[in-house]
C-alpha cells in the first residue's frame, strides 16, 4: 500500500503547443491549469519532459496533502514515458497517480471518478497503462461522441463548440473539485459527490 509521506501525482493529459490549447483532448491540461491557480504556483519544466508544479492542497495542518501537478510535454499517445519518469522521481505509488482526461463515452460536462480499468481507446491512458499498469485513478471528463460521421481523431482535436464553451469553466471547475476531493477524502467520497 502507499506510503503516507509520498505525494499524489495529478496528471492532466493533453497535447503541448498553443494550437491544441482549446481542444477537447486538452481538458486535462485545463483542469491542471486551474488546480495550479488554486495552489498559487507556476508550472516549471522538469527533466521528465513535463511541466510540473509541487504544492499542497486542503486545509492548513496535518489534513492537507502534498501534490505534484503535471502536464506531460510529449504528445498524448506517449504520455506514459514522462508520467513514469515522474512517478519514479517523486517515488509515487501507482495508486496515488490521478489521470485527468477527456472521455468520449460520457456525455459532455459529466464526470466519472474511478480507479483501474481499461483505456477505452484513449491513447494517453493506453500509454500510461503500458508504462506502469492500470491501477491508477482517473477523473474522466465527458466530451460526448462525435456528431454524424466525424472521425474520433478529428473530434477530439477540435476546440469545444461555442455552446459547450458556455459550460466549460463550470465543468473544469467541477473536475478540479473532484480531483481535490479524491486526494483529500478518498475515492468513495469523490464518486458519491461527483459521479453523475
| pLDDT tens per residue, range 67-76 | 999 999 999 9
Contact yes or no for 121/129 (Cβ under 8 A):
no
Distance CA 146, CA 13 (A): 20
Query: CA-based diameter of the chain, in Å?
Result: 53
Cell numbers at 92, concatenated: 509515487
Q: What is the pLDDT of residue 3?
A: 59
| pLDDT tens per residue, range 2-18 | 457 899 999 999 999 99
Cell numbers at 108, concatenated: 459532455
| pLDDT tens per residue, range 112-152 | 999 999 999 999 999 999 999 999 999 999 999 999 999 99
Distance CA 106, CA 178 (A): 16
Lowest mean pLDDT among 28-32, 61-65, 145-149, 161-165: 61-65
Q: What is the pLDDT of residue 62?
A: 82
Residue 191 phi, psi (nearest 5): -65, -45
- Left if phi > 0, otherwise alpha if psi is -120 to 50, otherwise beta: which for 144? left
pTM: 0.96
Q: What is the pLDDT of residue 61?
A: 83
What is the set of active-site residues?
A: 25
Residue 1 predicted with pLDDT over 50: no
Find the helix or strand (DSSP H, E) in which 137 lies.
strand 137-142
Residue 181 predicted with pLDDT over 50: yes
Amino acid at each position: 500500500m502507499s506510503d503516507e509521506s509520498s505525494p499524489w501525482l495529478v496528471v492532466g493529459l493533453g497535447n503541448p503547443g498553443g494550437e491544441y490549447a482549446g481542444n477537447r483532448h486538452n481538458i486535462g491540461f485545463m483542469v491542471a491549469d486551474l488546480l495550479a491557480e488554486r495552489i498559487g504556483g507556476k508550472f516549471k519544466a522538469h527533466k521528465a519532459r513535463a511541466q510540473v508544479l509541487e504544492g499542497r492542497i486542503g486545509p492548513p495542518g496535518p489534513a492537507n496533502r502534498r501534490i505534484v501537478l503535471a502536464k506531460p510535454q510529449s504528445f498524448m499517445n506517449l504520455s506514459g514515458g514522462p508520467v513514469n519518469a515522474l512517478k519514479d522521481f517523486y517515488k509515487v505509488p501507482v495508486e496515488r497517480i490521478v489521470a485527468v482526461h477527456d472521455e468520449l463515452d460520457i456525455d459532455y460536462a459529466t464526470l466519472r471518478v474511478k480507479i483501474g480499468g481499461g483505456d477505452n481507446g484513449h491513447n494517453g491512458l493506453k500509454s500510461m497503462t503500458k508504462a506502469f499498469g492500470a491501477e491508477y485513478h482517473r477523473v474522466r471528463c465527458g466530451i460526448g461522441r462525435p456528431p454524424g460521421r466525424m472521425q474520433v481523431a478529428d473530434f477530439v482535436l477540435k476546440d469545444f463548440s461555442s455552446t459547450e464553451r458556455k459550460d466549460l469553466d463550470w465543468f473544469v471547475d467541477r473536475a478540479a473539485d473532484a480531483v481535490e476531493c479524491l486526494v483529500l477524502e478518498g475515492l468513495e467520497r469523490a464518486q458519491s459527490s461527483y459521479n453523475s
